[in-house]
Structure 1
């Protein structure tokens, strides 16, 4: 299972009165990562499509620890946990590596997790103003990031009309 990695810059305006990144700003970070995931062309120039439209149907965020404002970007990992004919669930982890933490065996530093989240997106026909089914290209792209361990996996090939 592949995860999409997005390095999200922190802005001065992201901070609340306590010096932490405000909780609603996390939605912006998820949006930036999702847009980068869905619309940035792959190295071979092929986009993941989605140009026909999508809308957000649901967000869910679990805040694990405060993210203190700093100059270094935070990492947002995105992957797919469920594919249905007209809805996709994306999962995220907002994290980075612990500054000053001792390296574990192999030289890697342990992850510091700030939030776990999920978003349900619905493919949407912008002209008809109604949900639509995933295209074959969209489905093929999403399957490359599917981790069926988090939620039940349906037989996605049968979902494309």
Structure 2
């Protein structure tokens, strides 16, 4: 199972009055990572997958530790925990580094956020949800971890 890695820069405007990244900003980080992940399949190779749009049906987020502003980016690691006929669930960890950056290391890798998002492909011309295409399912299954470690981890 593959994981999508997105290195997300922290911006000065991300901080709140207490000097750490504001809780709402974490949702923006998840959005940036999700868009980067889902649109890797689309336009460049002529595919129209995911290019028609999608909507967020649900977010679930656990704040594990405060993140103080710094110059180094955080890593948003994403994977799929559930695929149904017309929705998918993406799980995330926002942390210091990708696990692949720490081979055989005893150095801790701080996790700031664990989260999940239910995404529904949407047909905006008809103003209604649509089914996941075979091409989209094939792409998503490469990132599927249905071991039960994520929220809603299953394939339907």
CA contact (8 A) 1:38 1:48 kept: no
Deviation at 1:34, TM superposition (A): 0.2
1:2 partnered with 2:6: no
Deviation at 1:141, TM superposition (A): 0.5
Select 1:136's aligned residue among 105, 122, 134: 134
1:28 partnered with 2:28: yes
User: Which residue of structure 2 aligns with residue 100 of structure 1?
Assistant: none
Which blocks of at least 5 consecutive residues in structure 1 are unaligned?
A: 98-103, 156-161
Structure 2 Cα separation of the partners of residues 82 and 92 of structure 1 = 13
Deviation at 1:49, TM superposition (A): 1.9
User: Alignment partner of 2:23: what SS?
Assistant: coil
User: Which residue of structure 1 aligns with residue 155 of structure 2?
Assistant: 154
Which blocks of at least 5 consecutive residues in structure 2 are unaligned?
A: none
Deviation at 1:47, TM superposition (A): 5.8
User: Alignment partner of 1:109: what SS?
Assistant: coil
Question: More displaced, 146-155 or 54-63?
Answer: 146-155
1:53 partnered with 2:79: no
Which structure 2 residues correspond to residues 1-161 of structure 1 after superposition, within 5 A? 1-41=1-41, 45=45, 49-97=49-97, 106-107=104-105, 109-150=107-148, 151-154=152-155
Corresponding residue pairs, total: 148
Where do 4+ consecutive residues of structure 1 move more than 3 Å?
44-48
CA distance 1:145–1:105, shift in 2 (3 Å) = closer
User: Alignment partner of 1:49: what SS?
Assistant: coil
Deviation at 1:154, TM superposition (A): 2.8
RMSD of equivalent CA atoms: 2.1
CA distance 1:123–1:5, shift in 2 (3 Å) = same
TM-score, with structure 1 as normaliser: 0.84
